[in-house]
A and B are shown apart, each in its own frame.
Chain A
Amino acid sequence: MDCDVLYKVVVIGDSGVGKSNLITRFTQGKFSKDSKPTIGVEFGAKTIEHEGITIKGQIWDTAGQERFRAISAAYYRGANGALIVYDITNQETFNNLNKWFKEIENQGENGCLNVLVGNKCDLDHLRQVQTEDGRTFAEKHNVSFMETSAQDNTNVDLAFTSLLKEIYKNQKKGKKTGGNTGGDSSAEKGKEINLHEPVAQPTEDDKKCGC
């Protein structure tokens, strides 16, 4: 493996908030939007250096499947972190955040770290959701918050890398104290994941309680 630890991060939020664009911006850097389109290609992984170790973030894009609610559990399974995205120019995507938080609470792993992201902040003239409202919502749910723009590359790296570092910090803390917060060992999965295999699927022996 070309990394010391691998974490799975899932990007969720309403359709059209720019999930794919955030992921592409983070993992590909500059991406030509005029290039010939391809399908089925995943732009989904990036390695960062932190405190002398390499952290690989495997980023899962749920775009296009937002309405297939039932399938979300498969995405959340084994996720170490989630980027919950809304569009600052679309109030409805902000109003729907409760739905997404509730879902990740029900279906996500314990110890899964969340970040709230208000995307498209380059379109300030079309803004419908005030920064303060985003911040208040994040505080209420005890998650970090930032506004990003995949378009002009504002805070995109920061959003992903700070989440990955935070996950790393949490893991380390968990190990030192000999256990994980929340009584779920899913956080340790980060070490088990092999890139060439599906993210560790549970067998009957390692079923984890998601509650």
Chain B
Amino acid sequence: MISPSGPVRVKSILMHQSPVEKRRRRSSALSKQAPTNGFKIPTENLSSEFANYLVSFGAQEIVDDYALDLGTYTTAPDSPENIQHNDDGTVKSATIEKLIENMLRDSSQEIQHIFFATYTSFTTSSKVSSIILSMYLPNGEDLTEAQKDSNKTIIELFIYWVSNYGQEICDNTLFSLLLFSAVANNNELNEALSCACKVRDKYGLAASLPLSMDWNSYLDSLPKTEEPEVEDEEEEEAEEEEENDDASPIIPDSWDGVTLDVLEWSPKELARQLTLVEQEYFSRIQTRECINDNFEKRRESKAPNISRLVDHFNSTSRWIVATILREEDSERRVLLLQHFIELASELIDFHNYQSLMAVGAAFNNSALFRLSNLWSQLDEEYIDIVEYMRELLDPSKKFKNLRAAMESPDSTPCIPYIGVIMSDLSAIESLYNELIDELVNFNKKRMSTKVLRSVQTYQKYKYPFERIPSLCECLKDTVLDSNDFSLLSEQELHKMSLSVQPRK
């Protein structure tokens, strides 16, 4: 499929220029460079603006590390030492090279999806890009149709990678890909790279390029492209315009936009707004954040969105406990508990299992759970809902009942309880080997990907509710913090609980 051919060394054109000289030579650098090591880049393959651009920023230092060894790949015949298959013919385990070879051949794109969703667990973006680049054949003239197709597939792979996982590609690799895009001269790839760079700037993930380059001016010179999608509250509101009458918000007259009196609001409206807040957090999760390793070990940098979701979960739960416990009037305390049970009932109807779990966790919190005087005042209809919740949310058998509900085709739209997904990922991670006979255990990667893709499916759903921004803010962690709700420790909750009902 891929035959060896002379490497294209972009680095050679820019090699021996000192950092001091670079700024002076800005405009005419490309033509005046005299490569000393014999390699010369075909100028027709590198747009002159791009080359000038690199030079103007003293790129030679960087470029030294970015040899694009195009066309140098030599394939080894398949053998059990480099690839193994399952009984059904799918890849069981393989070397990275064999995975990439198969990815290029695989018209179903299954391998491609799994590979890019999981490669960070067994290799690096720079290794992946250098292997793929070595499979790309330069020199347009003499290529066979099959070779041209292969080149095309490689560009498509890069586009897929950069568009879907651009935020994880390391700076150096992104730079190589920018160089390559100048060689390949493909608009779609340029656009994808441009998006990836902009998104990185936006989230401040990678301001640490080797030199402080002005990426924006380069990117702006690339073909114009649409801004990457950023979820804005305004946008969401716009999307939710087609609401039916039933979904019109029910706002109590007493609402001042700040002080949340739970009993003033209908459980349905609280449930709707809580669902919108939950959806906002949930839809921001990058699926890879769910992998425990990312989530636990480098939580702030690698998993900011899921951290926020989990913090919201814990503080919502604590807020419910605290709201009930702080109520000094015992009758109103019962009303509050009933109100939250009704809220839970609405959440069940909305298939919002993440928020429902937070409510269920609140009911299970021993500070609330121990208040037999409170629970015994509930009417039967409320007890029925609580019983139903307990059964649905029961953690035994790995949340069997909850799984069934989440996977039911009637459950759309749906916000799943992420804990179930994370425990699946954790089990896959910890119970199975990364390598089988020194080869990447691709069965394991296939299973992780299946779980991660289920998250993406859930993320596509939207709820048709109209947002009440002030209430949503109240339901978010920040406001809860300022009300001291989520800051209450377990011990403080217990103290409050004991003052509501002393120990026997």
Q: Which residue of chain B lies nearest to A76 when distances are taken between CB atoms in the complex?
A: B366
With A15-B426, A21-B430, A42-B398: A73-B369 Cβ-Cβ less than 8 Å: yes
Chain A residues within 8 Å of B364, by CB? 71, 73-74, 77
Chain B residues within 8 Å of A211, by CB? 366, 370, 494, 498, 503
Please count how many residues in chain B sit with their CB below 8 Å of the partner chain's CB atoms.
64
Chain B contacts with A in 381-398, Cβ cutoff 8 A? 383, 387, 390-391, 393-398
Nearest-neighbour CB distance to chain B for A28, whole angstroms, equals 10
Measured in the bound complex, the distance between the Cα atoms of B450 and A60 in whole Å is 24
Chain B residues within 8 Å of A209, by CB? 370, 372, 503-504
With A68-B314, A103-B490: A198-B396 Cβ-Cβ less than 8 Å: yes
Pair A210/B369 contact, Cβ less than 8 Å: yes
Is the C-beta of A114 less than 8 angstroms from some C-beta in chain B?
Answer: no
Is the C-beta of A136 less than 8 angstroms from some C-beta in chain B?
Answer: no
Please count how many residues in chain A sit with their CB below 8 Å of the partner chain's CB atoms.
53
**Secondary structure of the A side of the interface?**
loop
Chain A residues within 8 Å of B376, by CB? 204-205
Pair B372/A207 contact, Cβ less than 8 Å: yes
Measured in the bound complex, the distance between the Cα atoms of B399 and A198 in whole Å is 10
Chain A residues within 8 Å of B419, by CB? 64-65, 68, 71
User: Which one of B86, B295, B361, B390 lies within 8 Å of A201 (CB-CB)?
Assistant: B390
User: Which one of A35, A39, A77 lies within 8 Å of B424 (CB-CB)?
Assistant: A39
Taken residue by residue from 469 to 504, chain B's Cβ proximity to chain A (1 for < 8 Å, 0 otherwise) reads as 000000000000000000000110010001000011
Is the C-beta of A57 less than 8 angstroms from some C-beta in chain B?
Answer: no
Pair B394/A198 contact, Cβ less than 8 Å: yes
Chain A contacts with B in 62-85, Cβ cutoff 8 A? 62-71, 73-75, 77
Q: Which residue of chain A lies nearest to B396 when distances are taken between CB atoms in the complex?
A: A198
Chain A residues within 8 Å of B432, by CB? 33-35, 37
Chain B contacts with A in 263-299, Cβ cutoff 8 A? 292-293, 295-297
Chain B residues within 8 Å of A58, by CB? 396
Measured in the bound complex, the distance between the Cα atoms of B232 and A78 in whole Å is 44
With A15-B296, A198-B391: A63-B369 Cβ-Cβ less than 8 Å: no
Is the C-beta of A199 less than 8 angstroms from some C-beta in chain B?
Answer: yes
Is the C-beta of B185 less than 8 angstroms from some C-beta in chain A?
Answer: no
Nearest-neighbour CB distance to chain B for A11, whole angstroms, equals 12
Pair A204/B375 contact, Cβ less than 8 Å: yes
Pair B361/A20 contact, Cβ less than 8 Å: no
Pair B358/A70 contact, Cβ less than 8 Å: yes
Is the C-beta of B324 less than 8 angstroms from some C-beta in chain A?
Answer: no
Is the C-beta of A30 less than 8 angstroms from some C-beta in chain B?
Answer: no
Is the C-beta of A202 less than 8 angstroms from some C-beta in chain B?
Answer: yes
Taken residue by residue from 285 to 321, chain B's Cβ proximity to chain A (1 for < 8 Å, 0 otherwise) reads as 0000000110111000000000100100110011000
User: Which one of A106, A202, A207 lies within 8 Å of B490 (CB-CB)?
Assistant: A106
Is the C-beta of B338 less than 8 angstroms from some C-beta in chain A?
Answer: no
Is the C-beta of B247 less than 8 angstroms from some C-beta in chain A?
Answer: no
With A42-B397, A70-B313, A70-B361: A64-B426 Cβ-Cβ less than 8 Å: yes
User: Which one of B296, B307, B447 lies within 8 Å of A16 (CB-CB)?
Assistant: B296
12 further A-B contacts with Cβ under 8 Å, apart from A42-B398, A70-B318, A211-B494, are: A16-B296, A37-B432, A39-B447, A58-B396, A61-B398, A67-B307, A71-B361, A106-B491, A198-B390, A202-B369, A205-B376, A211-B366
Which residues on A are within 8 Å of B, measured CB to CB? 14-16, 18, 20-21, 24, 31, 33-42, 44, 58, 60-71, 73-75, 77, 102-103, 106-107, 183, 198-199, 201-205, 207-211
**Ordered nearest first, which 9 A-B pairs have the shortest CB separation?**
A64-B426, A64-B423, A70-B317, A210-B366, A70-B361, A198-B394, A37-B447, A207-B372, A73-B364
Which residues on B are within 8 Å of A, measured CB to CB? 86, 292-293, 295-297, 307, 310, 313-314, 317-318, 357-358, 360-362, 364-366, 369-372, 375-376, 378, 383, 387, 390-391, 393-398, 400, 403, 419, 422-428, 430-433, 436, 441, 443-444, 447, 450-451, 490-491, 494, 498, 503-504
